Structure 1
Amino acid sequence: MKIVIIGAGEIGYDLASVLSQEKHDVIVLDRDKQALERVVANLDVLCFEGNATSAKDLVDAGVKDADILIAVTSIDEVNMIASMMSNRLGAEMVIARVRSDELSRPNAPLKSTDLGIDVLIHPERSAALEIVRLIKRASASDLVNLADGRMQMIGLRIGKDSPLVGKTLVEYAEDFSDITFRVVAISRKGLTIIPSGSVRIQAYDQLFLMAKTETIPAVIKTTGKPDVEINRIMIAGGTPIGAMIARILCQEEKKWNIKLIEPDQDTAIELAEELKDVLVLNGNPTNPDLLATEGITDTDAFISVTDDEESNIISCLMAKHLEVQKTVALVSKSDYIPLSQTIGLDAAVNKKSAASNEIHRHVRGGRVISVTALQGIKAEVIELQAAPKSKVVKKPIQKIRFPDGCVVGGILSNGSTDIATGQSQIKPNDRVIIFCLPEAVDKVTSLFN
């Protein structure tokens, strides 16, 4: 496919990297010469220096013949204008990243389709929802909803005192044969392992396990971690993400005790007027005295989502030092994510990866229902639908020649969900959840067509 990406920032670069590896014809358009030089130096893609709101530059970049146009600059207005012009010029599908939720509100005077946008990506909302899910599963470092929420994949870090240390995955499964789950990946000292049954669990491994949603609490207990209930939450930063987290939690049936700290006085006043069930404080969320005064030692979860990612990390480390049970930091540099747990954070969320995952699903198309790149680990979770005449149907999974570096996690068939075993059979139109290394994605996808 011919894909034009407008914006050579973190999201644009990440998408160009992945899509070029998948042999798509990728063109990157940006007016920032330095950003384009980085792309040229590292990726096998075409680059074009130009203005995204110029019809001439869009035509010169090949938008007229594009199968997909992806607008992911840091400015909403540029993305919207570029999308509208690209749609008029003939791009078959237009995907745009828009930070503001104005276009997605029910009573919005303008819809995304009015601007020629086929798919609207809202990374702030995706990140906020991910943080809320992590708060609800306090022991998890990662959490991905699968099969319309009927299954979940969680990441759990194994402590040195865990009863699982030294056991093989076969022994682990045998010890808890009354619980249906599957270990689908292990992150160990920066390496990603798609495991076999003979792999032994080591201290400080990060296990990625999959199970039905209602079984997840029992799975967490097997690792020696209690699934702690969170009631009192402190949010550092009244940014769009911080405000969105507070709104989402306030809409829940459960009544949370929420404090939000915002350094800008005007923003704090606005949020206090809007969020009636949240105690909004005006102050510096990295100030230890303020945190102590406001009772951080009695807080169950501390979420730092300011615009300064170093401050997010430092304030979460401070909270962890004060024995807060769950800390979540918003980071923008993907390189920080593998380090987050090493230095003591419970979880790190990257809003750019949330946007990349959503865009990638639409780019892959075909039998692909969803694609999720796991943070801090080189593996992807893919949800595929089996074509009636594909190579994977009507035979046990153990007899299918899947490429190296992938494992089948679960099957959704006629409304029922099951964790996959070697004897499981995939029927036509079943949805199958597969965990695999990036280099195996295309081979796996082709088996389902």
Structure 2
Amino acid sequence: MKILVAGAGEVGYELGKVLSEEQHDVTILDMRQSCLQRVVQNLDVLTVEGNATSPNSLVEAGAQTADLMVAVTSVDEVNIIASMMAKRLGVGKVIARVRNDELSQKDSPLSPSELGIDVLIHPEEAAASEIHLLVKRASASDVVSLADDRLQLVGLRIEKGSKVTDRPLQELAAEFDDLQSRVVAISRRGGTIIPRGSSILKANDHAFFVTKTEHLKRLITVTGHDDKALRRVMIAGGSEVGRLLAKKMCEDKQKWQIKLIEPDEEVASKIANNYRDILVLNGNPTDPNLLVVEGIQEMDAFISVTDDEESNIISCLMAKHLEVKKTVALVSKTQYVPLSQTIGIDAIVNVKASASDEIHRQIRQGMMLTVKALQGIKAEIIEVVAGKNCKMLDIPVRDLSLPEGAVLGGILHEGNVEIAVGDSIIRKGDRVIILALPRAIEKVDQLF
């Protein structure tokens, strides 16, 4: 596929990296030489220096022959204008990142399609949804619903002294044969391991499991965690992510006790008027004394979503030191994400990574139903339909020649879900869950 990416910032760079690894023909357009230089030095893509709102620049970047354009500059207006021009120039599909939520509202006087946008991405909305899921599942660092919510992929830290520590996976499978789950990846000291039966789980490993939804609570207990539901939550920062998260939690059936701290008095007052169920405090959410006075040590969860990502990390570390059970920090720099498990924060959510994931999922839409990058490892979870030309039909899993760097997690067949084992068989129309390293994704795609 020929893809034009407008914007060479973090999202554009990550998209260029992933899409070029999948053998797409990618061109990145940006007017900043420094950003393009980084792309040229690290990625196998074409670059064009120019303004995304210039018709000549878009033509030079190949808009007239592109199958898809993704507008991810840092300015909403540029993304909208670039989308309109690209559509007029003949681009088949246009995806645009727009932070302003006016276009996505039902009563908007203009729809995205009227502006040439086929898919509108709202990164703050995606980040808020991700945090909401993480807080609902107390012990997990990642939560991805799969197979119509029949399967879950969860990231869990292996606690010292748990029943699974220092034992081979094949031994654990025999002992817990009634626990429908499978380890599909392990993050250890910054490296990614695609496990085999002889692989051993060690204390402080970050393991990713595919499990039946009804077996999730037991899995969490077996790995050494207490899955007691969270109730008392403190949100540091009334940013757009903070407001969207507060809204989602207020609409949730779960009865949350929420405190939100916002330094801007006008913003704090507006949030307090809009969400009566939340205690809103006007103060500096990075002030340790204020956090202690307001009872951070009594909270079940602390979520820091201010615009200062370093302060978010430090605040979460302080909360963890005060024995808050779950901490979540919002960041925008991708290099901070692998650090989360190492330094003790339960989960780090990256707004730009959330946007990149959503865009990547839209690009792969078709036979691939889910594409989700995972926190702390260089792998993605994929949900794919086995088509009539699938090369893996009616062959036991043990006899399949899967690409190196890919592992089967589960299969949904005619409404019945199963964790993939040696004698499992894939049939036409089945939905299959696979974890794959980036280099293996294209090969997996070809197999299905």
State the Cα distance separating 1:149 from its structure 2 match: 2.1
Unaligned stretches of 5+ in structure 1?
none
Aligned twin of 2:171: 171
Aligned twin of 2:145: 145
Aligned twin of 1:434: 434
State the Cα distance separating 1:214 from its structure 2 match: 2.1
State the Cα distance separating 1:44 from its structure 2 match: 2.0
1:433 is matched by which residue type in structure 2? I
Identity of aligned residues (%): 58
Structure 2 CA distance for aligned equivalents of residues 106 and 122 of structure 1? 15
> What are the Cα deviations for residues 243-276 of structure 1, in whole angstroms up to 9, with x where unaligned?
0000000001122100111111111111111111
State the Cα distance separating 1:407 from its structure 2 match: 0.9
SS in structure 1 of the partner of residue 161 of structure 2 = coil
TM-score normalised by L of structure 2:
0.97
Aligned twin of 1:418: 418
Structure 2 CA distance for aligned equivalents of residues 215 and 21 of structure 1? 35
Which has the higher mean CA deviation after the structures are superposed, 195-204 or 155-164?
Answer: 155-164
> What are the Cα deviations for residues 23-57 of structure 1, in whole angstroms up to 9, with x where unaligned?
22211111112111111122222211111112222
1:269 is matched by which residue type in structure 2? S
Structure 2 CA distance for aligned equivalents of residues 9 and 236 of structure 1? 27
Unaligned stretches of 5+ in structure 2?
none
Aligned twin of 2:46: 46
Structure 2 CA distance for aligned equivalents of residues 178 and 42 of structure 1? 46
> What are the Cα deviations for residues 347-369 of structure 1, in whole angstroms up to 9, with x where unaligned?
11112111112211232345222
SS in structure 2 of the partner of residue 335 of structure 1 = helix
1:32-181 alignment, distance < 5 Å:
32-181=32-181
Note if 1:351 corresponds to 2:351: yes
Structure 2 CA distance for aligned equivalents of residues 346 and 309 of structure 1? 15
State the Cα distance separating 1:139 from its structure 2 match: 0.8
SS in structure 1 of the partner of residue 343 of structure 2 = coil
Structure 2 CA distance for aligned equivalents of residues 325 and 399 of structure 1? 43
SS in structure 1 of the partner of residue 201 of structure 2 = coil
Structure 2 CA distance for aligned equivalents of residues 15 and 96 of structure 1? 13
SS in structure 2 of the partner of residue 52 of structure 1 = coil
Cα contact 2:361–2:370 (8 A) shared by 1: yes
Aligned twin of 1:391: 391
SS in structure 2 of the partner of residue 315 of structure 1 = helix
Aligned twin of 2:24: 24
Cα contact 2:23–2:442 (8 A) shared by 1: no
1:409 is matched by which residue type in structure 2? G
State the Cα distance separating 1:176 from its structure 2 match: 1.6
Tell me the number of residue pairs that the alignment of Structure 1 and Structure 2 aligns: 448
What is the RMSD computed on CA atoms of the aligned residues? 1.2
Structure 2 CA distance for aligned equivalents of residues 6 and 271 of structure 1? 34
1:310 is matched by which residue type in structure 2? E
SS in structure 2 of the partner of residue 156 of structure 1 = strand
State the Cα distance separating 1:101 from its structure 2 match: 2.0
Cα contact 2:69–2:95 (8 A) shared by 1: yes
1:15 is matched by which residue type in structure 2? L
Structure 1 CA distance for aligned equivalents of residues 66 and 427 of structure 2? 35
Note if 1:276 corresponds to 2:254: no
State the Cα distance separating 1:414 from its structure 2 match: 1.8
Cα contact 2:21–2:438 (8 A) shared by 1: no
State the Cα distance separating 1:234 from its structure 2 match: 0.3
Note if 1:253 corresponds to 2:241: no
Aligned twin of 1:285: 285
Say if 1:93 and 1:185 are closer, same or farther in 2 by CA, change over 3 A. same
Which has the higher mean CA deviation after the structures are superposed, 359-368 or 348-357?
Answer: 359-368
TM-score normalised by L of structure 1:
0.97
State the Cα distance separating 1:192 from its structure 2 match: 0.7
SS in structure 2 of the partner of residue 149 of structure 1 = coil
2:288 is matched by which residue type in structure 1? P
1:126 is matched by which residue type in structure 2? A
SS in structure 2 of the partner of residue 355 of structure 1 = helix
Aligned twin of 1:235: 235
Structure 2 CA distance for aligned equivalents of residues 341 and 67 of structure 1? 39
Structure 1 CA distance for aligned equivalents of residues 416 and 160 of structure 2? 37
Structure 2 CA distance for aligned equivalents of residues 415 and 163 of structure 1? 32
Structure 2 CA distance for aligned equivalents of residues 319 and 40 of structure 1? 41
State the Cα distance separating 1:300 from its structure 2 match: 0.6
Structure 2 CA distance for aligned equivalents of residues 51 and 366 of structure 1? 32
Structure 1 CA distance for aligned equivalents of residues 435 and 388 of structure 2? 22
Structure 1 CA distance for aligned equivalents of residues 149 and 127 of structure 2? 17
Structure 1 CA distance for aligned equivalents of residues 200 and 33 of structure 2? 49
State the Cα distance separating 1:75 from its structure 2 match: 1.2
Note if 1:202 corresponds to 2:239: no
SS in structure 2 of the partner of residue 108 of structure 1 = coil
Cα contact 2:22–2:438 (8 A) shared by 1: no
